[in-house]
Each structure stands twice: as structure tokens, then as C-alpha cells.
Amino acid sequence: MKYKLVIVFLTGILVGVAVSQMIESAYRGQENEKILVTPIKSLISKEEALQSIYEMMEGCFGVSRNYKEIPSLEKPDMSLIVNTTDVYLYVYENASEILNAKEEIVKKLSLVRSSGFIFRSGDKYYLLLPLYIHYYYVLVLASGPREELHNLSTCLFMVGPSPGKVLTMFTPLAKDLEERRWLEKEGVVVQGYLEGIEGLYRGSRVALFIYRPDEGIDAYWKIFFELRKRHRQLSISILREISKNPAGRVEYYAVFDRGNGEVIYIELARFLGMWRVSIVETTKEKLPSVVDDLY
């Protein structure tokens, strides 16, 4: 009987160790899994952006629809005749897409900049004008008389908020950010944003992403719940009264423990009708000053 109790006791210990190792192994596996952040698709339609640009041109010129294409380029989302100028509108989801598209058009049409947004290829003049409107990027490509192209660019010239301005004008630390892609190496893949930037800031790693309203909220909570599976959430209050930047307002934030004095800070803030999702990896000591410099 005595030996049976010893055997049962030892068996219990072995089972406990095995279960503990399985849990630890599962946790390590979960910690090493990539976090893929793909927010829900916005209900805001690109048709709204196209319609707004159409109405802007209609207020300046005689405008009519047509279905022309430039053979060497992708099919436009809308093509128009404005006075005697052919206009093609291409809609893109984010800043990277429109930048790549612009570079490809310049290359395929052999465009050489004449002045401003006006280019030349042989004896033809082109307008290549990127716009941000209704949460989409629209590339205006037009071919026609130089004077008409100049008038068209003047008609479409807009001053207003944009993702780039939120990053550069309303996020002070961005100007001193040493750009470097680091987030994916840490196992976090962020998608669906309008414009983003990653880099090093005074020994801390920072990533900033600008989203459409509904997509930004979804992206933040997806990051939050994935981090909470992997790291212990800390109760740290670090936000001060934001007086330096009245354009921005913090909606949610959280801090997670990475161990060895390091933390992960995530934040959702509203800026000029857009949402900024911030991810910071730093030490507990540096965190307050880095967050302060977000504003």
C-alpha cells in the first residue's frame, strides 16, 4: 500500500511536469506566431472620390464621360473629356500604391517634368496630379494643351487634411524618425492602412499607421487582443493633458510587458477625421517621453 501511494505520488508529479511543459511549449509557439492585422473593409466607396472630382471639374469646365484608355496603361476607373483635354482617373487604396503607379506611368510614357505637375513626352504635354479625397488616393492623368492642363491643375488644387499631414505635421517625433522597417521582423504584419511609417526614435522603435475611421478602430482592437494573448497587460497611466496638439485626441491605449524592463505601447488616436494607430517598443523609463512626442 505504501509503495502504491509513492507510485501514485510520483506519477502525479510526472503528469504535472508534462502538462506544465505542454502549456509552456504552447505559449512559446503562440508567442512566435505572426500577428496579422487586416482590418475590416471600409464602407466608404471609391465612387464618392470619383464623383467629387468630377463635380469639381464640372464647376470649372465643360465635362463629358468617355471610355478611352491609353493602351500601355491599366484601365482607368473613370475617363473624361474636359474641354479638349483627355482625362483619366485612377483610384488607389493607399499612398504606396499611388506612388508606384505614378512612377510606372512616368516610365511607360517616357515623361519628363516640364514644371510642377506638368510633364512632356515628345510634342505632347501631360498632367500627372495625385490627390487625396474621401479617404482614397486619386491619380489624375490628362493629355492636352499645356494651358488647359495648367487650368485643370488649378481647378483641382486642394488644401486640407491628409494622412501624410497627420504623420508629418501633427506627429512631432516623425520628423526625427530614422526610417527602418522593424515591425514585421517582430512578427507583426499590419495591412489596410492609408499611409504608414516605421523607424527608430531615440533608442525606441516606433510604427505609425493612418486609417479610415472604421478600419482604424478594428485594426487597434485586433492588435490589442493579439498582444494580450502573448504578454501581460500593465496598469500604467502615462497620458498627460494634450495641449500642444488640439487636432489629436486619444481614444484608447494599452501597455504590455515584454520582460527585462521593456514594454509595448499601442494607441488609437483621432486626427482630422482619420485614425492613427501607434505601436511603440521601448523601456518603461523612456515610454512617457516617447508618448509625449507623439503630440
Full 3-state SS string of 102-158: HHHHHHHCCCEEEECCEEEECCEEEEEEEEEECCEEEEEEEECCHHHHHHHHHHHCC
Q: State pLDDT tens for residues 127-183.
A: 999 999 999 999 999 999 999 999 999 999 887 889 999 998 899 999 999 999 999
How far apart are the C-alpha atoms of 260 and 256, rounded to whole Å? 12
The residue ranges of every structural domain in the chain are 46-156, 164-292
Instruction: Flag whether the pTM goes above 0.85.
Output: no
How far apart are the C-alpha atoms of 209 and 223, rounded to whole Å? 12
The answer to whether the beta carbons of residues 275 and 135 sit under 8 Å apart is: no
Residue 122 has pLDDT above 80, yes or no: yes
Closest CA to 212 of 100, 136, 130, 131: 136
For the domain made up of 46-156, the CATH class stated in words is alpha beta
